[in-house]
């Protein structure tokens, strides 16, 4: 079906099913081969990319809606998902469907709730829908042009992630179950966009007391075999809830 007809049909259904005027946009992060990636969609008939998103059903809690939207897109249930900001500027979503009737759902003013998600890359099965012709992981170092204000939403999500490194643990949903300290440090460096001192990182991270050191170390390689760690989930989740023990 051509995109115009498809949109008009979707519009009719949307007015029935969803709360008008309110949308959800998701910045979904995954970590692969030492690179932080974000999940992007390409909308049919456009050269721009966008964050996956959707709407809230009339009888659905906000958080349920975000989970449903991400499950439809990634097949994954066990996603770390947090709202981080509402985007409520004028003209953030208006003026993009000028060739359509004014009653088109997608042409209305939307205030959007931004969620960010951290997912285990290996557990995700990306799905395109009938409005998009691509759904891909894109490295945050090589972002394409975004539609609407999605670049602003993405930037804010990354900034949130960056700030939260100072008071929340991170990594459980991004790294494999077992990892080395340099691998964990690499994740922090990628999010922060800067190199960290190895000794300081080690001291600070062990000070948080959220890691269990394994008895075995990784074999192979010319150098000393590096120690292996895993997150202590109980302590990790406590720190997620109460903050890392650096506070007042």
Binding site for a second copy (CB under 8 A): 19-22, 56, 58-63, 65, 83, 85-90, 109, 111, 113, 163, 165-167, 188, 192, 196, 204, 243, 246-248
Output 129 or 246, the one with its CB closest to a second copy: 246
Output 121 or 188, the one with its CB closest to a second copy: 188
Q: How far is the CB of 203 from a second copy (least distance, A)?
A: 12
Q: How far is the CB of 242 from a second copy (least distance, A)?
A: 9
Burial code (b: 16+ CB inside 10 Å, e: under 16) for 107-144 equals: bbebebbbbbbbbbbeebeeeeeeebeebebeebeeee
Output 48 or 196, the one with its CB closest to a second copy: 196
Cα–Cα distance, 163 to 53 (Å, whole number): 24
Output 58 or 71, the one with its CB closest to a second copy: 58
CB atoms within 10 A of CB 154: 23
Cα–Cα distance, 166 to 150 (Å, whole number): 25
Residue 224 DSSP one-character state: P
Q: How far is the CB of 111 from a second copy (least distance, A)?
A: 6
Q: How far is the CB of 248 from a second copy (least distance, A)?
A: 6
Which of 73, 77, 63, 161 is CA-nearest to residue 113?
A: 63
């Amino acid at each position: 079906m051509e995109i115009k007809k498809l949109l008009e049909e979707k519009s009719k259904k949307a007015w029935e099913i969803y709360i008008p005027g309110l949308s959800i946009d998701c910045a979904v992060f995954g970590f692969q081969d030492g690179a932080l990636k974000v999940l992007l969609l390409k909308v049919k008939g456009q050269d721009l990319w966008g964050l996956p998103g959707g709407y809230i059903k009339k009888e659905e809690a906000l958080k349920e809606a975000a989970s449903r939207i991400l499950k439809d897109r990634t097949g994954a249930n066990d996603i770390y998902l947090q709202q981080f900001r509402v985007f409520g500027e004028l003209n953030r979503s208006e003026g993009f469907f000028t060739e359509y009737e004014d009653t088109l759902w997608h042409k209305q003013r939307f205030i959007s709730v931004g969620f960010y998600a951290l997912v285990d890359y290996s557990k995700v099965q990306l799905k395109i829908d009938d409005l998009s012709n691509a759904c891909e992981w894109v490295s945050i170092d090589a972002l394409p042009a975004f539609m609407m204000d999605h670049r602003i939403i993405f930037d804010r999500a990354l900034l949130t992630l960056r700030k939260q490194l100072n008071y929340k643990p991170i990594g459980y949903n991004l790294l494999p179950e077992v990892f080395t300290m340099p691998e964990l440090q690499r994740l922090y460096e990628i999010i922060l966009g800067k190199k960290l001192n190895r000794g300081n990182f080690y001291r600070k991270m062990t000070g948080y007391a959220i890691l269990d050191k394994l008895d075995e170390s990784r074999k192979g390689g010319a150098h000393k075999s590096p120690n292996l760690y895993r997150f202590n989930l109980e302590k990790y989740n406590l720190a997620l809830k109460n903050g890392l023990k650096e506070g007042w």
